[in-house]
Amino acid sequence: MGLIKDAKSIARRDPAARNALEVFFLYPGYHALIYHKVARAFYRIKLKFIARWISQICTRRTGIEIHPGATIGEELFIDHGHGVVIGETAVVGNNCTIYHQVTLGGTGHVKHCKRHPTVGNNVLIGAGSKVLGPVTIGDNAMIGAGSVVVEDVPPDTTVTGVKAQVIKVLGERVVPSESLEQRTGDPFAKELEELKAQLDAITARLNEEEKNK
């Protein structure tokens, strides 16, 4: 019943799909979900080699790699899907949409820990986006195409860019809250801040000399 529900959900959300039967036979994203359910069943009973073998068959046939350890909610729509990678400890909620070339990846090499993203319900992740590390993507969030997300995304927000910044909250456009000074990890921003500080010092000195004349 879950697979039928998934097929109907994809057909309803994809304007190119004419019916659920077309989704069942022709959609690689839907086929990847079937493979994952089978692989996940073996993974849960500790037959991890068989689980990985099935997931690798899925990768070769669909271009979509979902680790059998990943937790996938109901009605996931992987649109087109080629190049999608979902890591071992990733969690994807219900009614999410993931476009091609998306990575839900990990950071570091520590085993037996949460190292992949947790994605809430009703989340849309645009093509080519990379969501890295044990970050949390809140419910109803949208991630713009090509974004790199390395920090938590609040619910009901839209983020975009490298690194991703909030541009909308509840559909209303907002000014990014991160100032240049806060971008301490950006070497270009740091250099600009140093140049700005030098310019401010020169301006202050010139103003002082002008007063003393």
Q: What is the pLDDT of residue 185?
A: 53
With cut-offs at 50, 70 and 90, classify the pLDDT of residue 29.
Answer: very high
Residues classed as catalytic: 109
Task: Tell me: pLDDT of 211 over 60.
Answer: yes
For the chain, what percent of residues have pLDDT higher than 70?
Answer: 91
Task: Tell me: pLDDT of 186 over 90.
Answer: no
Once rounded to an integer, what is the mean pLDDT over residues 174-197? 60
Instruction: Please give the span between the terminal C-alpha atoms of the chain, in angstroms, as a whole number.
Output: 86
Once rounded to an integer, what is the mean pLDDT over residues 39-49? 97
Q: pLDDT tens digits, residue range 88-111?
A: 999 999 999 999 999 999 987 777
Residue of 20 and 207 predicted with greater confidence = 20
Q: pLDDT tens digits, residue range 57-90?
A: 999 999 999 999 999 999 999 998 899 999 999 9
Task: Tell me: pLDDT of 128 over 80.
Answer: yes
Going along the chain from its start, the domains and CATH numbers come out as 2-178 (2.160.10.10), 179-213 (no CATH)
Q: What is the pLDDT of residue 189?
A: 60
Task: Tell me: pLDDT of 13 over 60.
Answer: yes
With cut-offs at 50, 70 and 90, classify the pLDDT of residue 179.
Answer: very low
